Amino acid sequence: MIMAILAVYGAILVVLQKLGVIVWGRVWALSFPVLWLALQLVLLVPMGWGSPQGPAIVLRNTVSITPNVSGEVIEIVAEPNTALAAGDVLFRIDPTPYDASVRSIEAQLALQERLLANAVQLQERNAGRAIDVIERQAAVDSLRGQLQGARWNLDKTTVRAPGNGFVTNVALRRGAHVGGAPVMAFVDTSTTAVAVEISQNNARYIAPGQPVEIAFKFAPGSIHTGRVTTVIQAMSTGQVTPSGLAATPTEIQSAPFIVVVELDDQDLARRLPLGASGDAAIFTEHQQITHVLRRIALRMVSIVNYVNPF
């Protein structure tokens, strides 16, 4: 941006010299470094905290799909990278042993309920003991609990989507034995956030609600708007982990803060790929005169995104 202003300034001087308005000399030659220094102090430095800019990336919650029961996979329903709704079937595990367990417990429960009813009748006629009723009731309650767990296991042989989203990295195949380990990744698309890295010295005026403009590489030539939702001023480099060791000195680095942004266009937010990156500018209430320059600079970045893959 500074170089562009200096280029325009130089072009104006050339035109004025051609028109005879000015005579080129040492004063005009020295005006370039003077103007450069003035622009640095008046525009570029204040623009850093008045409208800070940093790299941005699209974030979504992901869930490792781990079956609650083990067994052989008999059907894979979900297609990779295809939209799913909460409750849609991902895959099915052979339910045979779990269905057999349910039937066995149901049969035992039916018997114990019949024995309990007989024990109650005998007690009511003073022909049975109270302890028999208590024992039969305990057996019935125990089997009802086992049946509830067995039915839960049977239901979990059908693995379903935990929310709206899609599955990716699907290497699971029919006939595989699963249980206790993740078998696919589920990407939740119900919410989409954009994380922006801002250097600590430029983050002091950032607050929730401030407007944001983002130039995604995924959509070159366009600018998208949003709002700051959170400023995460906590990093793992400052975290103290309990241990039996004394304090260990480490090299301290000024890591950037993370600013979480919500996009205004929710349709775009749902379409953006996980990990889509770009550049974002946050417009604070300070040094508002620099906002125009920042908007121009961000649009230049957006246009360059057509050819710049980095």
The CATH number covering residue 81 comes to 2.40.50.100
Percent of the chain with pLDDT over 70: 96
- Stretch 263-291: mean pLDDT, rounded? 91
Tens of pLDDT along 136-145? Answer: 999 999 999 9
pLDDT computed for residue 147 by the predictor? 96
Final residue in a domain of this structure, among 172, 188, 204: 188
φ/ψ of residue 210, rounded to 5: -70, 145
Quick check: 39 pLDDT over 70? no
Residues contacting residue 204 through CB under 8 Å, at least 6 positions apart: 49
308 vs 183, more confident: 183
**Token pair of 100 as six digits:** 């057999």
Task: Assign residue 226 the CATH number of its domain.
Answer: 2.40.30.170
Q: 68-72, 125-129, 292-296: which has the highest mean pLDDT?
A: 68-72
pLDDT of residue 1: 62
**Range of 21's domain?**
1-49
Share of the chain above pLDDT 90, in %: 54
Mean pLDDT of the 76-84 span: 92
Residues 183 and 205 in one domain: no
Same domain for 240 and 152, yes or no, is no
DSSP 187: E
Predicted local confidence at residue 194, as pLDDT: 95
Question: Do 219 and 297 belong to one domain?
Answer: yes
User: Does 282 share its domain with 235?
Assistant: yes
| Number of compact structural domains in the chain | 3
Rounded CA-CA distance 94/70 in Å is 9
Considering the domain architecture, whether residues 157 and 245 belong to the same structural domain is answered as no
Q: Are the C-beta atoms of residues 101 and 153 closer than 8 Å to each other?
A: yes
Say if residue 81 is in the same domain as residue 155. Answer: yes
Number of C-beta neighbours around residue 6 at 10 A = 15
Judgement on whether residues 98 and 9 belong to the same structural domain of the protein: no
**Same domain, yes or no: 212 and 136:** no
